[in-house]
Amino acid sequence: MENEEPMTEAASTMSGADVALGLPALRPGTLYLVATPIGNLEDLTLRALRVLKECDAVAAEDTRHTGRLLKHFGISKPMLSYFQFNEAARSGQIVERLRRGERIALVTDAGTPGISDPGERVVRAALAGGCRVEPVPGPCALVAALSASGLPAHEFHFMGFLAHKPGQRRRQLEEVKAVPGTLILYESPHRILKLLAELAEIYPESKVVLARELTKKFEEFKAGRPAELLAEMGKRPAQGEFVVLVAREGEMLNAK
Ligand code: SAM
């Protein structure tokens, strides 16, 4: 089995119940990037659950939000907050604690830490500080959206959130004209119509899939040309979270 090796390597640090289950104990001085549900709480993996239970502290983007998740799973842990505006200072504190040997679980509000969220800077600071960083994979909005979109998935270009300024957004969309593969963007409900209007102008013949409220009660995939989706979406206020996938002209023909 492929995953046998790391377990054997860490066997000397196993303890109590972990030994009985054959699971490696968490490693001192490690930053664990724990993916959390993007809507459906059942998507928290068993490994994520164990790391959250066994770590020394949880570093969260929003401690109130993460507090509710931990409470749901009956976990009580010291928490420290890092967020976009104090990441630099907090990253330093996290690195210091890792150097003292603490095992810290880093979580964001939802999904995989480091993908278009403030976790990215903490990861870089930890690596620059010589600390060990270990992913605990799980939910990720872009992967969930792409996997069920029906658009070509063998090659894609993830753009995350576009800039807010109109000129910059347009430039970003123009710049990737020659980049092959499906484009994937994150967008807030406030700017979704704006994005569709921009796509209608720059990529009018593309096939767009809007993946909305993934893993939640009102999950929805809508496909069409950008102008069609714009007309449809414009009829009611846009709500929820969106991943926007764009297969430019010709890309569907390249689908394997
Ligand atoms: N790191 C997270 C990940 O990759 O899963 C994403 C964090 S980013 C700050 C938040 C954005 O991810 C949202 O604005 C939306 O574009 C997308 N997103 C997160 N959850 C989603 C969901 N349940 N359905 C659709 N899009 C979602």
We report the CATH number of the domain holding residue 122 as: 3.40.1010.10
Residue where a domain terminates, one of 88, 118, 139: 139
Q: What's the gap in Å between 96 CA and the centre of ligand 1?
A: 30
Atom of ligand 1 nearest to the CA of 117: 9
With a 6 A CB cut-off, is 120 part of the ligand 1 pocket?
no
Residues 114 and 204 in one domain: no
Read off the pLDDT of each residue in 65-86 and give the average, rounded to a whole number. Answer: 89
Residues 17 and 130 in one domain: yes
With residues binned 3-state (H G I as helix, E B as strand, rest as coil), the percentages for the chain, rounded to 5, are: 40, 20, 40
Q: What is the pTM of this model?
A: 0.90
Residue where a domain terminates, one of 139, 174, 195: 139
How many domains does the chain divide into?
A: 2
- Identify the DSSP state of 111: B
Rounded distance between C-alpha atoms, residue 147 and residue 178, angstroms: 23
- Kindly report, residue by residue over 170-202, the tens digit of the pLDDT: 999 999 999 999 999 999 999 999 999 999 999
pLDDT at position 24: 85
With a 6 A CB cut-off, is 108 part of the ligand 1 pocket?
yes
Residues 10 and 55 in one domain: yes
Rounded distance between C-alpha atoms, residue 122 and residue 90, angstroms: 8
Residues 12 and 134 in one domain: yes
What percent of the chain is modeled with pLDDT above 70? 88
Residues 117 and 41 in one domain: yes
CATH of the domain at 163: 3.30.950.10
Rounded distance between C-alpha atoms, residue 54 and residue 86, angstroms: 26
Residue where a domain terminates, one of 107, 139, 171: 139
Rounded distance between C-alpha atoms, residue 130 and residue 126, angstroms: 6
Tell which phi-psi region holds residue 29, choosing left (phi > 0), alpha (psi between -120 and 50) or beta.
Answer: left
Range of the domain at 184: 142-254
Residues 172 and 133 in one domain: no
Q: What's the gap in Å between 4 CA and the centre of ligand 1?
A: 32
